[in-house]
Structure formats: C-alpha cells, structure tokens
Structure 1
Amino acid sequence: PQSRGYSTQAFSTTTALRGPVKEQITAADDGASVLSWSTQCGSEIYIATAKGSERPLSKQLPGGNGGLRIWDYADTDSAIAEAIGLAQGMENKHAVYNTGFAGAKVVVNTTSHENRLTIDKKALMLQLGHVLNDLDGTMYTGCDMNSDLDDMELLASQSPYVLAGIPNLAMNPNAATAHGVLGSLAALAERRFGGLQASSFVVHGLGNVGSIVARELLASGATVSVYDVDPERMAIPGTCSGGEAYPRIFVWLGKSKPAC
C-alpha cells in the first residue's frame, strides 16, 4: 500500500509476538530505508538507515549505529523524515571517523502534554529491547534527545546492543558530546572573531547537551542567550532568555551581541 509517498509492507516477526508490530518502509525519493514498530505503550518506533550506506542493517559487523530520540511529532511523515535525516548525519559522522558502522537512527513518536512527554519510558525500553534483539546485532543505539543514561542502563539489561558508556562511570556521553560542540565553536570563534570572549551565541535547546554548552560558553567569557520549550530550563544564571523571538536554530554565532 501507498501512504504519504512511502511504500509500506507489513510482515510478522518474533518481536510481533511479544508486542511490537513491524513494517518495512522505503522512502522512494532518497533511497533511505526505515523499519517501523507499533508498540503496546502507544508509541511508534522508527529505525532508519541512511541513503548510500553500504551495509544497511547488515549482519556484517558492526552494523548500524545511531542514538535514540524520543519526541511528540506532528505526524508520521515528520517522524520518518527526522529519522532519515538523523541517520544521514550519522552516516557522515561514521565516515569521518572511519568507525565501520552504517549510519542509522532510532526515533520514537509519542505523546506529550504542555511540552512534557507522557510516555512510560520503562515500558518503552522493554519494548525497544525486544526490537534490538530481534534485529540480532544489526543495530546499536545510545542516548539522544529525551533519552538518558538511566534509560540506557535499563535498555542494556534487556539487550546487548547498547553503546552508551555505561560501564565507564567516568565518561558521560552527554558531556562528551557537548565538549565536542564546544571545541568546534572555539575553533570557529578563534578564526572568525579572535576568540570566545569576542563572540555571542544563542543556544536553542537546553537538555543534557545544550545546558552544558551554554554554561561552558559563559565560563569562557562569551555572551550567551538561551531558548527552550521548557521555561524552567532557561534559568541559567548569566544568560539572556531569548523567548519566542529567536528562530528555531541550535547555535547562532555573530559579531554583534544580542540584547538581553
């Protein structure tokens, strides 16, 4: 059957007997492939593999890799498009660092109330554990938006296909990601404006990564404005709250300082 430009085909798996029902979705336009599961906890799980990947969810190790993103998307197409775009980003990252992984991503479409997710994350991790086990080592995941180390610890108790630095208590993957962003921004600021102290930033999204980026930029002497859909997250001392005036961007860098 055809649905919103995507070709879908349902088929049964051992996972379906335990709860999720899997579908194969192929995006006709860009060549990416997406697997879809409907879960008992009322959410949809999408696992996308990037266009051009030489081994899309192949058992030739190490398989596909990309984090777990959980969000309340406007519709199915939006969730699928997000999964495909993020999988392509992971494909590029793995190519740069020559990890051997194929670019992939796990996206969960769920519900929210007043900008807060209403999903039972414990139930989701149990369902996702079945999904990863059913894929039999062809997909590895870790933290991304709205998933954290506690989620990964639970998921890892259900499936061995989790890469999240859990055994290494000294390594926080969110902090590692944030410092990778900071290193890039510091190099750019030094080249363009003479350093972080001469630069102004807007950090959009103050979760596990963005909040660290904002605080570390402040500590480096930069001027920082912030925005998040959750007003409580914007209460970072020393920053300006951007409110609705700022566009939906993650980081903006410019010579002029934004007005607080």
Structure 2
Amino acid sequence: MTFIWDRPNFDAHEAVHIVTDPASGLRAIIAMHSTHLGPAAGGTRFWHYADDGDAMTDVLRLSRGMSYKNAMAGLPLGGGKAVILADAAKTKTPELLAAFGRAVDRLGGNYVTAEDVGMSVSDMIAISRETDFVAGLPVDDAGEVGGDPGPHTALGVFLGLKAAVKRKLGRDTLDGVHVALQGAGSVASHLARHCAGEGARISVADIDAAKVEALAAEVGGTVVDPAEILSIEADVLSPCALGAILNEESIAALNAPIIAGAANNQLARPEDGQRLVARDILYAPDYVINAGGIINVSTEYLDDGGHELVRQRIDAIPGRLDRIWDESDASGRDPAAVADSMAQRLIGRA
C-alpha cells in the first residue's frame, strides 16, 4: 500500500486535507507545506484533472512552490495551495464555493487562499462570505492594496525577464527582443503589454483561439500553434500557462537562450535544471520571478503597508535573480537548485 507521504512530491508537508461536500459536489485538496514563517498562503486552482492522482501531484508541487516563493520574497508567510477538482464541464456553483469557503474556515487561519488558475475575484468574494482567511478581494478605495494579483505577477515577471535579457544578451531594453509567450491568460496578457510597450516583438500561443487572436491583435504580435511555441526561435521563451513543460524532450528542442515566465513548476524534474545549463540556456526560477502576485496578496492580507511597499518588494525580484545566477555561475549548480537551497534554508529545512 502506498501512503501519501510515500509520494515523490510529498516533501514532508505539514498537512494535506481532503475535502468533500456531497450536497454541493465539492471535491478539493488543501495542502500546507510549511508554516515555519507564517500561515500557509497560496491560491486555489479550479481545474478538471484526468486523474485524481494528477490533482494530488499538482497540489503538492504547488504548495511546496509557495513555501519557497514566499520565503524567497521575504514574506512572513508559509506555503500552501488548494485545488478544486472540477468536473469535465468545469461546473462552478455558489454552493460549491460556499462549501470550499467553509472548509478553509475550519482550518482556523493556518491556510490563507486567493486566486489561481480558474478562479476570479468574484469567486474570492463568494468564498469570503464563509471565511476571513482569503485575499485577492476588490478594494473600495484606490489607495488600498488588494484586487486581482495577476497584474502584479506580470509586473514582476516583466522586470525579471528584463534582468535575464540584460544578463544573457547584454541589452538594457526589450526593444527588438523576440518574446515567445506560452499562454494568453490574464498574467500573460499583462506581460505581453509590458513587453510590447518597450518595443519587444511578441509571438503568442494558447489553446483558446479567440483569446490568443485578440491578444496578438492588441500587441501587434503573431499567433503561433500551441504545439510549436516551445521550439520557436526567439530570444526569450516565457511559459505562462501550466507547469511541468520543461522536460528532457522539450529542452532538447528549445530555440531560445532565456526561459523567463510566470507558470509555476516549469521544470518537470529537478534534473531538468541542469539540462538547461548544459544547453547554455538561462533559466529564471519560476517561484522567484513570479512572486509579484503573492507579494500583493500578502500586503493586503497582513495590512502591513501600501502600494509603495508592494512595488518596493516587486522591484527586488531582479536583484534576487541576479544573486541566484551569480551563485549558479560560481558553484556550477543550476539556478533552480540554487534557489531551492536558498529557500530551504529560509524555511528551516536546509
């Protein structure tokens, strides 16, 4: 018999909660990897998984990633994540969201949730009717911190992408730099606007044809087949969809010297980081470059500052990446392994 703690991605999680509510049809998993630095914070993903085991793998990887992300961003938060297992039609009802909110509330603040893939600000409002342990809520006053964390994630990725371009290509701006975006969702769209605004040439792919065509038209970009985006010749490949897309096969086919994107858990396996090094591809560890959203969520939830503090924390992302790349160059270890070691020390798991 295989127990959950025998799974490769379990990594000494403090708690994993299986949630069911037959009346609403809710099936969810809430994983708390670490509360060493504070309450386990991380968004809720609403997704249809082909297999329940895939959902467990996803939530464990995402939860651990949040521990590392929050620690590396200098936030007083631990790491957690939730997934709601959607049906094939991705049916989302007020009753289901309410049941999930009650499940979060029963954890007494040990887990704090916010938006992730498949969830919106309006969903967070519905959940907040059942629990106070939620962020990413709209604000009444323009001076308040809150709302959709996506634009903040995109800003951090943009700044980190620029740092990677400067380091690898020796260019101070993105003018004329070819950025290939995998994804045309909220974060990818904001990132595309930032890049295009500085003169970058954009190629973009997404399984949603209408969404990708609209984004390409807005930023003067080119639509690429989703099956071809990972191997397109570009200066920067920016994965902004789901994770585990960088593996032995896809890395061998890459035609970009830089990987810098918003997707979580981009490396399918730890050894894939060294495969990127072997191909002389500069990788920006995902949970470092994409921390802008949780920075905004943290500031909202903890009420420890305003927009200036959010921007100050996001502006620190490029410097953090440079320190990781410096140590990678000096040690011979890949940037992902270096970042993991730094994060593990911060959460007391060196």
Indicate the TM-score class for this superposition, using the shorter chain for normalisation.
0.7 to 0.9
Superposition RMSD in Å: 2.5
Q: Which has the higher contact order (CA 8 A, sep 6+)?
A: 2
In the alignment, which of 103, 118, 128 is matched to residue 146 of structure 1?
A: 118
Q: What secondary structure, in the 3-state scheme, does the structure 2 residue paired with 1:36 have?
A: strand
Contact 1:65 1:141 in 2 (8 A): yes
Residue from 205, 211, 229 that aligns with 2:207: 229
SS of the residue corresponding to residue 62 of structure 2 reads helix
Return closer, same or farther for 1:135/1:54 CA change in 2, 3 Å cut-off: closer
- In the alignment, does 2:20 pair up with 1:35? no
Q: Does 1:197 align with 2:179?
A: no
In 2, Cα distance between equivalents of 1:34 and 1:107: 11
Q: Deviations over 1:7-29 (max 9, x none)?
A: 2xxxxxxxxxxxxxxxxx54544
Using the TM superposition, give the Cα deviation of residue 233 of structure 1 relative to its aligned residue in structure 2, in angstroms. Answer: 1.1
Q: Which residue of 1 aligns with 2:56?
A: 80
- Contact residue 67 and residue 80 of structure 2 kept, 8 A: yes
Q: CA deviation at 1:76?
A: 1.1
Q: Distance in 1 between matches of 2:102 and 2:6?
A: 25
List alignment gaps of at least 5 residues for structure 1.
8-24, 56-60
- The residue type paired with residue 12 of structure 2 is G
For 2:26 and 2:188, the matched residues in 1 are separated by: 26
User: CA distance change for structure 1 residues 164 and 49 in 2, over 3 Å: closer, same or farther?
Assistant: same
- Structure 2 vs 1, CA of residues 199 and 169 (structure 1 numbering), >3 Å: closer, same or farther? farther
| Aligned-partner residue type, residue 39 of structure 1 | D
**Deviation of 1:83 (Å):** 0.6
Aligned to 2:256: 254
Count of matched residue positions in the alignment of Structure 1 and Structure 2: 224
- Contact kept, 8 Å, 1:200 with 1:254, in 2: the verdict is no
Alignment of 1:172-191 (within 5 A): 172-191=148-167
Structure 2's unaligned 5+ residue stretches are 232-237, 241-253, 259-350
Per residue, is there more helix in 1 or in 2?
Answer: 2
Identity %: 25
Residues 211-243 of structure 1: per-residue CA shift (max 9 Å, x gap): 111222122211111111211110121121121
Q: Which residue of 1 aligns with 2:73?
A: 97
Residues 30-73 of structure 1: CA deviation (Å, up to 9, x unaligned): 323421112333342111122xx354xxxxx9421101111111
> Which deviates the most, 189-198 or 66-75?
189-198
- Counterparts of 2:74 and 2:140, CA distance in 1: 23
Structure showing the higher strand proportion among its residues: 1
Query: 2:30 corresponds to which residue?
Result: 47
**Partner in structure 1 of residue 197 of structure 2:** 219
8 Å CA contact 2:94, 2:126 repeated in 1: yes
Q: Say if 1:66 and 1:106, in contact at 8 Å, map to a contact too.
A: yes
Deviates more, 1:65-74 or 1:31-40: 31-40
- Counterparts in 2 of 1:226 and 1:167: CA distance versus 1, 3 Å: same
SS of aligned partner of 1:159: coil
Q: Which of 157, 164, 184 is the aligned partner of 2:129?
A: 157
Q: 2:26 and 2:177 mapped to 1: Cα distance? A: 42
| Pairing partner for 2:224 from 230, 242, 246 | 242
Shift of 1:168: 5.8
Kindly indicate whether the alpha-carbon contact (under 8 Å) linking 1:203 and 1:225 is maintained by their aligned counterparts in 2: yes
Compared CA separation, residues 175 and 159, structure 1 to 2 (3 A): same
